[in-house]
Amino acid sequence: MDKNKLAQEVIKKIKERSVKPKPRWQFLASNYSLWFAGVVAIVMGGVSISVIIYLIKDNDWQVYEQMDDNLFSFIFLTLPYLWLIFLVVFALAAHFNLKNTKKGYRLRLPTLLSAMILLSFVLGGAFYSIGIGKAIDMKFKDKYPVYYKLLSHRDTIWKKHSRGFLGGTIIQVNSENDFYLIDMEGNVWGIDASKAIVTNKNILGLKSRVRMIGKRYNEKLFQAKFIAPFDFPRKLMPNLPEKESIIMPEGMIKGRFERNPIFNAY
Amino acid sequence: MSYQEGMAEEKTDIELVELSLLDQENFIYLIKRYEHRLSAYIARLTKASAEDIEDILQDVFIKVYQNLNDFDKDLKFSSWIYRITHNQVISHYRKMQSRPEGSNIEIEDSVLENFASDIDPTSNMDKKLLRREIDRILDKLDRKYREVLVLKYFEEKDYNEMSDILKKPVGTIGTLLNRAKKLFQEQALKEKVKI
């Protein structure tokens, strides 16, 4: 190959095609945008972890003892898969972006992944501690019905009245041991909480959303053994019916309701 | 050699990059400095004809000129230009929908000795035969293994340079190279070639 020939040929083509060196800012912008996208993906990974921590901590661990299922099938049923998928997607996005930065290729995959996971966990812990995990879960449940459907198995546990689970909104309080609750399907229940362990007595107020484990006496009466707050989006609760239309439960605690027939919730 | 060429000979790669950014005519000196090395590298990676090699080289230099501002002075210019060449070879063969196959260039004696003694220190094979056999066995290796062997033994690059050229971590280069040597030996055994 003739040395001068190739060099002259290249210069000729450069001139003919008016090739110019691309400006430095273009390369800098592309490199910085990769860094930015990588950092955003790590932060989003942190957000996912904060929701995962919230959902796992809020996973009603006391419930599984009441169910026939063993611990593994309970974990399998209630793991926040959607957020785990988000976490993997964000980790891959962060990996792709950082790997493609100017010197990203020098980092080994295990080093890069462990650094990203560690960072995401630190951020996730911090986000969880300031309530971001819970806020996002509630917001998503409120805004995106699909999201709620995907995670609904967690809440549907509280519809299994025959197995001793009940969740809903308190519509009348007679005493701390005696109140009415409307469940997620709009049925009114009379609750006997005289033998219940309550995580916090303050939750037994009007319009509080609670979930309880106990025993169903009949279609309308429930004896609670354990009561805890229910972080369920208000929007997804059935509208409270007109007080005239509510058919009050009869039976075990009928007398108490009759003494105080006014529905304080309205 | 003209006075200007003589001056250019004394300049470092980085100085020539800066001069090329000021005046495209200066880019000629960078082309002249690298065209022989790069055409040999392309030939070792592929079985391209002389015309194909020239086409690839022209594309490489145009790409280098276009991207001069992207050259990172923390790298060796040679690593950067080898990287662009390597990528251009891959993209050329992707376009042609065939994979690069083996070398068709004469291997220098010193390189041959170095390669043979590293693969098998007891090697005492006739050089002509050795050259042909190395060529044939390299042909049969996967591209990723052939690449590292070519860079290490024929282009005499160290691990850091290979890492910068192939855009892989240094540790991965070490692993690839060890595997490539092992596969080369296995292939040689299979072919009943004693190197």
pLDDT tens figures, A156-204: 778 888 888 898 888 888 887 888 988 888 888 999 988 888 877 778 8
Please give the pLDDT value at position A242: 60
Q: Is the pLDDT of residue B98 over 70?
A: no
Task: Answer yes or no: are the C-beta atoms of A46 and A130 closer than 8 Å.
Answer: no
Cβ within 8 Å, pair B31-A106: no
Of the segments A30-34, A135-139, A190-194, which one has the largest average pLDDT value?
A30-34
Q: Is the pLDDT of residue A47 over 60?
A: yes
Domain range annotation of chain B = 3-95, 109-190
User: In whole angstroms, what is the distance from residue A25 CA to residue B61 CA?
Assistant: 21
Q: Is B170 on the interface with A (CB under 8 A)?
A: yes
Cβ within 8 Å, pair B169-A106: yes
Q: Give A114→chain B minimum CA distance, Å.
A: 16
Task: Answer yes or no: are the C-beta atoms of A7 and B35 closer than 8 Å.
Answer: yes
Residues 6+ apart with CB under 8 A from A170: A179, A180, A181, A204, A205, A206, A207, A208, A209, A210, A265
Domain range annotation of chain A = 24-153, 160-259
What residue of B is the nearest CA neighbor of A108? B169
Span A68-94, average pLDDT: 81
Q: Is A19 on the interface with B (CB under 8 A)?
A: yes
What are the beta bridge partners of residue A179?
A: A173, A191
Closest CB from B32, B61, B172 relative to A108:
B172
Closest CB from B32, B58, B169 relative to A107:
B169
- Average pLDDT of chain A is 81
Q: What ipTM describes this predicted complex?
A: 0.76
Topology of domain B3-95 in CATH is: Rna Polymerase Sigma Factor; Chain: A (1.10.1740)
CATH class label, B109-190: mainly alpha
Question: CB pairs below 8 Å between A and B: how many?
Answer: 76
How far is C-alpha B86 from the chain's CA centre? 7
A160-259: CATH superfamily = Nucleic acid-binding proteins (2.40.50.140)
Cβ within 8 Å, pair B65-A7: no
pTM of structure:
0.70
Cβ within 8 Å, pair B70-A106: no
Closest CB from B36, B68, B167 relative to A21:
B68
Helices (H), A79-184: 81-99, 109-129, 132-143, 145-156
User: In whole angstroms, what is the distance from residue A46 CA to residue A39 CA?
Assistant: 10
User: In whole angstroms, what is the distance from residue B4 CA to residue B29 CA?
Assistant: 10
Helices (H), chain A: 3-16, 24-57, 61-64, 71-78, 81-99, 109-129, 132-143, 145-156, 254-259
User: In whole angstroms, what is the distance from residue A84 CA to residue B152 CA?
Assistant: 43
Closest CB from B65, B69, B167 relative to A23:
B69
Question: Are B3-95 and B109-190 equal in CATH topology?
Answer: no
